[in-house]
Amino acid sequence: MEVKNKIILALDVPSMEKAVELMDKVSPYLDTVKIGYPLVLAEGLESVSRVKEEYDCKVICDFKVADIPATNQKIADVTFQAGADAIIVHGFVGADSATSCLESANQHGKEIFLLTEMSHPGASRFLQPVSMDIASMGVEMGITNYVGPSTRLDRLGKIRQIIGKDSFLISPGVGVQGGNPKDTLEFADALIIGRSIYLAPDPVEILESIIDSIEL
Ligand code: XMP
Protein backbone atom coordinates (compact mmCIF):
# COMPACT_ATOMS: atom_id res chain seq x y z
CA MET A 1 0.00 0.00 0.00
CA GLU A 2 1.28 3.47 -0.89
CA VAL A 3 0.67 6.10 1.83
CA LYS A 4 1.04 9.79 0.95
CA ASN A 5 3.47 11.60 3.27
CA LYS A 6 3.76 8.32 5.24
CA ILE A 7 0.89 9.45 7.50
CA ILE A 8 -2.38 7.60 8.09
CA LEU A 9 -4.95 9.73 9.89
CA ALA A 10 -6.79 7.94 12.72
CA LEU A 11 -10.22 9.46 12.22
CA ASP A 12 -11.44 8.79 15.77
CA VAL A 13 -13.95 11.62 15.84
CA PRO A 14 -17.48 11.14 17.20
CA SER A 15 -19.56 12.17 14.17
CA MET A 16 -19.52 12.56 10.39
CA GLU A 17 -19.89 16.29 10.93
CA LYS A 18 -16.57 16.35 12.81
CA ALA A 19 -15.02 13.99 10.27
CA VAL A 20 -15.96 16.27 7.38
CA GLU A 21 -14.77 19.36 9.25
CA LEU A 22 -11.36 17.74 9.81
CA MET A 23 -11.03 16.06 6.42
CA ASP A 24 -11.86 19.30 4.59
CA LYS A 25 -8.74 20.76 6.19
CA VAL A 26 -6.26 17.89 6.10
CA SER A 27 -7.22 15.80 3.07
CA PRO A 28 -4.81 17.62 0.69
CA TYR A 29 -1.95 16.15 2.74
CA LEU A 30 -3.28 12.59 3.06
CA ASP A 31 -4.52 9.72 0.97
CA THR A 32 -5.05 7.09 3.65
CA VAL A 33 -7.40 7.21 6.62
CA LYS A 34 -7.97 4.74 9.44
CA ILE A 35 -11.55 4.48 10.66
CA GLY A 36 -12.36 2.52 13.79
CA TYR A 37 -15.16 1.92 16.25
CA PRO A 38 -15.54 5.54 17.45
CA LEU A 39 -16.84 6.77 14.08
CA VAL A 40 -18.46 3.55 12.83
CA LEU A 41 -20.44 2.92 16.02
CA ALA A 42 -21.63 6.53 15.94
CA GLU A 43 -22.45 6.80 12.24
CA GLY A 44 -22.49 3.28 10.82
CA LEU A 45 -20.37 1.61 8.16
CA GLU A 46 -21.71 4.20 5.76
CA SER A 47 -19.08 6.54 7.22
CA VAL A 48 -16.44 4.37 5.52
CA SER A 49 -18.11 4.70 2.11
CA ARG A 50 -18.71 8.43 2.57
CA VAL A 51 -15.13 9.25 3.55
CA LYS A 52 -13.82 7.20 0.63
CA GLU A 53 -16.13 8.79 -1.90
CA GLU A 54 -15.91 12.37 -0.69
CA TYR A 55 -12.13 12.45 -0.22
CA ASP A 56 -10.96 9.85 -2.75
CA CYS A 57 -8.78 8.15 -0.16
CA LYS A 58 -7.97 4.65 0.98
CA VAL A 59 -9.67 3.53 4.19
CA ILE A 60 -8.22 1.03 6.64
CA CYS A 61 -10.88 -0.19 9.06
CA ASP A 62 -9.42 -0.66 12.51
CA PHE A 63 -11.83 -3.25 13.89
CA LYS A 64 -9.10 -5.32 15.56
CA VAL A 65 -11.05 -8.39 14.51
CA ALA A 66 -10.65 -11.12 17.15
CA ASP A 67 -13.41 -13.72 16.92
CA ILE A 68 -13.87 -17.29 15.74
CA PRO A 69 -13.21 -17.85 12.03
CA ALA A 70 -16.87 -17.91 10.95
CA THR A 71 -17.64 -14.61 12.68
CA ASN A 72 -14.39 -13.02 11.53
CA GLN A 73 -15.34 -13.82 7.96
CA LYS A 74 -18.74 -12.10 8.32
CA ILE A 75 -17.10 -9.03 9.88
CA ALA A 76 -14.50 -8.84 7.12
CA ASP A 77 -17.06 -9.41 4.33
CA VAL A 78 -19.36 -6.61 5.46
CA THR A 79 -16.41 -4.27 6.01
CA PHE A 80 -15.06 -4.83 2.51
CA GLN A 81 -18.56 -4.54 1.02
CA ALA A 82 -18.78 -1.09 2.62
CA GLY A 83 -15.71 -0.12 0.61
CA ALA A 84 -12.85 -0.55 3.08
CA ASP A 85 -9.51 -1.13 1.39
CA ALA A 86 -8.09 -3.03 4.35
CA ILE A 87 -9.02 -4.29 7.80
CA ILE A 88 -6.89 -4.65 10.94
CA VAL A 89 -7.04 -8.15 12.40
CA HIS A 90 -5.74 -9.40 15.75
CA GLY A 91 -3.18 -12.18 15.55
CA PHE A 92 -3.49 -13.54 19.09
CA VAL A 93 -6.71 -15.39 18.24
CA GLY A 94 -4.72 -17.72 15.99
CA ALA A 95 -4.08 -18.60 12.37
CA ASP A 96 -7.56 -19.98 11.64
CA SER A 97 -9.26 -16.74 12.71
CA ALA A 98 -6.82 -14.56 10.77
CA THR A 99 -7.05 -16.85 7.74
CA SER A 100 -10.80 -16.28 7.45
CA CYS A 101 -10.16 -12.52 7.20
CA LEU A 102 -7.38 -13.10 4.68
CA GLU A 103 -9.67 -15.26 2.54
CA SER A 104 -12.37 -12.60 2.67
CA ALA A 105 -9.81 -9.96 1.65
CA ASN A 106 -8.60 -12.10 -1.25
CA GLN A 107 -12.18 -12.67 -2.45
CA HIS A 108 -12.86 -8.92 -2.43
CA GLY A 109 -9.47 -7.88 -3.81
CA LYS A 110 -8.67 -6.12 -0.52
CA GLU A 111 -6.00 -6.40 2.20
CA ILE A 112 -5.58 -7.26 5.86
CA PHE A 113 -3.15 -5.86 8.41
CA LEU A 114 -2.08 -8.28 11.14
CA LEU A 115 -1.82 -6.64 14.56
CA THR A 116 1.27 -7.92 16.38
CA GLU A 117 1.86 -5.83 19.50
CA MET A 118 -0.21 -2.87 20.67
CA SER A 119 1.22 0.51 21.59
CA HIS A 120 -0.36 1.16 25.01
CA PRO A 121 1.30 0.29 28.37
CA GLY A 122 -1.16 -2.53 29.16
CA ALA A 123 0.00 -4.46 26.08
CA SER A 124 3.15 -5.44 27.96
CA ARG A 125 1.35 -7.95 30.18
CA PHE A 126 -0.53 -10.23 27.80
CA LEU A 127 0.32 -9.29 24.22
CA GLN A 128 4.07 -8.60 24.44
CA PRO A 129 5.04 -12.15 25.41
CA VAL A 130 3.46 -13.49 22.19
CA SER A 131 3.82 -10.61 19.73
CA MET A 132 6.93 -11.94 17.96
CA ASP A 133 5.19 -15.33 17.58
CA ILE A 134 2.23 -13.49 16.06
CA ALA A 135 4.55 -11.81 13.55
CA SER A 136 6.11 -15.18 12.69
CA MET A 137 2.66 -16.69 12.25
CA GLY A 138 1.81 -13.89 9.83
CA VAL A 139 4.92 -14.63 7.78
CA GLU A 140 4.01 -18.35 7.68
CA MET A 141 0.54 -17.36 6.48
CA GLY A 142 1.94 -15.17 3.72
CA ILE A 143 0.60 -11.93 5.22
CA THR A 144 2.48 -8.87 4.00
CA ASN A 145 0.89 -6.03 6.06
CA TYR A 146 1.46 -5.55 9.80
CA VAL A 147 0.78 -3.15 12.70
CA GLY A 148 3.44 -2.60 15.39
CA PRO A 149 4.03 -0.08 18.20
CA SER A 150 5.91 3.21 17.79
CA THR A 151 6.10 3.41 21.58
CA ARG A 152 8.64 0.54 21.81
CA LEU A 153 11.10 0.96 18.99
CA ASP A 154 13.31 -1.94 20.08
CA ARG A 155 10.32 -4.21 19.65
CA LEU A 156 9.23 -2.53 16.42
CA GLY A 157 12.74 -3.26 15.09
CA LYS A 158 12.42 -6.93 16.05
CA ILE A 159 9.03 -7.13 14.36
CA ARG A 160 10.62 -5.64 11.22
CA GLN A 161 13.36 -8.29 11.33
CA ILE A 162 10.77 -11.06 11.52
CA ILE A 163 8.43 -9.77 8.80
CA GLY A 164 11.29 -8.80 6.45
CA LYS A 165 12.07 -5.60 4.59
CA ASP A 166 9.44 -6.12 1.90
CA SER A 167 6.45 -6.34 4.27
CA PHE A 168 4.44 -3.19 4.91
CA LEU A 169 4.49 -2.06 8.56
CA ILE A 170 2.28 0.70 9.93
CA SER A 171 2.78 2.09 13.41
CA PRO A 172 0.44 3.80 15.89
CA GLY A 173 1.47 5.49 19.12
CA VAL A 174 3.12 8.58 17.63
CA GLY A 175 2.58 11.87 19.43
CA VAL A 176 0.18 11.67 22.38
CA GLN A 177 1.32 8.14 23.28
CA GLY A 178 4.97 9.24 23.08
CA GLY A 179 6.28 7.81 19.80
CA ASN A 180 8.57 9.96 17.62
CA PRO A 181 7.65 10.18 13.91
CA LYS A 182 11.12 10.15 12.36
CA ASP A 183 12.53 7.47 14.68
CA THR A 184 9.51 5.24 14.07
CA LEU A 185 10.03 5.46 10.31
CA GLU A 186 13.43 3.79 10.72
CA PHE A 187 11.40 0.60 11.02
CA ALA A 188 7.87 1.42 9.85
CA ASP A 189 6.62 2.36 6.39
CA ALA A 190 3.88 4.69 7.66
CA LEU A 191 2.65 6.30 10.88
CA ILE A 192 -0.88 6.18 12.30
CA ILE A 193 -1.64 9.50 14.00
CA GLY A 194 -4.90 10.55 15.63
CA ARG A 195 -5.16 12.90 18.59
CA SER A 196 -2.03 14.93 17.80
CA ILE A 197 -3.83 16.03 14.64
CA TYR A 198 -7.57 16.09 15.40
CA LEU A 199 -7.20 17.64 18.87
CA ALA A 200 -4.76 20.32 17.68
CA PRO A 201 -6.05 23.89 17.53
CA ASP A 202 -4.69 23.97 13.97
CA PRO A 203 -4.58 20.41 12.52
CA VAL A 204 -2.96 21.60 9.27
CA GLU A 205 -0.14 23.35 11.11
CA ILE A 206 0.68 20.24 13.17
CA LEU A 207 0.41 17.98 10.14
CA GLU A 208 2.80 20.20 8.19
CA SER A 209 5.24 20.22 11.11
CA ILE A 210 5.15 16.40 11.36
CA ILE A 211 5.74 16.09 7.60
CA ASP A 212 8.66 18.53 7.86
CA SER A 213 10.16 16.58 10.78
CA ILE A 214 9.97 13.34 8.79
CA GLU A 215 11.66 14.87 5.77
CA LEU A 216 14.56 16.46 7.72
P1 XMP B 1 -3.56 8.40 18.75
O2 XMP B 1 -4.67 9.32 19.09
O3 XMP B 1 -2.89 7.77 19.92
O4 XMP B 1 -4.33 7.24 17.93
O5 XMP B 1 -2.58 8.98 17.76
C6 XMP B 1 -3.76 6.03 17.58
C7 XMP B 1 -4.76 5.27 16.80
O8 XMP B 1 -4.25 3.97 16.54
C9 XMP B 1 -5.04 3.02 17.26
N10 XMP B 1 -4.08 2.21 17.92
C11 XMP B 1 -3.76 1.01 17.54
N12 XMP B 1 -4.23 0.30 16.53
N13 XMP B 1 -2.68 -1.39 17.14
C14 XMP B 1 -3.68 -0.92 16.34
O15 XMP B 1 -4.10 -1.64 15.43
C16 XMP B 1 -2.19 -0.69 18.16
O17 XMP B 1 -1.29 -1.11 18.85
C18 XMP B 1 -2.77 0.56 18.36
N19 XMP B 1 -2.48 1.50 19.25
C20 XMP B 1 -3.33 2.53 18.95
C21 XMP B 1 -5.92 3.74 18.21
O22 XMP B 1 -7.15 3.07 18.37
C23 XMP B 1 -6.09 5.05 17.50
O24 XMP B 1 -7.08 4.94 16.50
Within the chain, how many helices (H) and strands (E) appear? 11, 8
Output phi, psi for 32, to 5 deg. -140, 130
Amino acid 179: pLDDT = 86
The rounded Å distance from CA 192 to ligand 1 centre is 7
Output phi, psi for 189, to 5 deg. -90, -25
Minimal-distance CA residue to ligand 1 atom 8: 172
Amino acid 70: pLDDT = 98
Output phi, psi for 174, to 5 deg. -75, 140
Catalytic, out of 62, 85, 110, 158: 62
Residue 62 a catalytic site member: yes
Q: How many CB atoms lie within 10 A of CB 175?
A: 21
Amino acid 12: pLDDT = 98
Residue 183 a catalytic site member: no
As for the ipTM of the complex, it is 0.95
What is the length of the chain?
216
Output phi, psi for 152, to 5 deg. -135, 85
Amino acid 178: pLDDT = 85
Minimal-distance CA residue to ligand 1 atom 16: 118
**Please, what are the domains in the chain?**
4-215 (3.20.20.70)
- 70 annotated as ligand-binding: yes
The rounded Å distance from CA 156 to ligand 1 centre is 15
Is residue 51 within 8 Å of residue 22, measured between CB atoms? no
What pTM was computed for the model? Answer: 0.97
Q: Is 90 exposed, middle or buried (0-12, 13-18, 19+ CB in 10 A)?
A: buried
Amino acid 177: pLDDT = 83
* Greatest distance between any 2 Cα atoms in the chain: 47
- 189 annotated as ligand-binding: no
Indicate if ligand 1 lies below 6 Å from the C-beta of 192: yes
pLDDT along the chain (216 residues), means of 10: 96 98 98 98 98 97 98 98 98 98 98 96 94 98 97 97 98 89 97 97 97 89
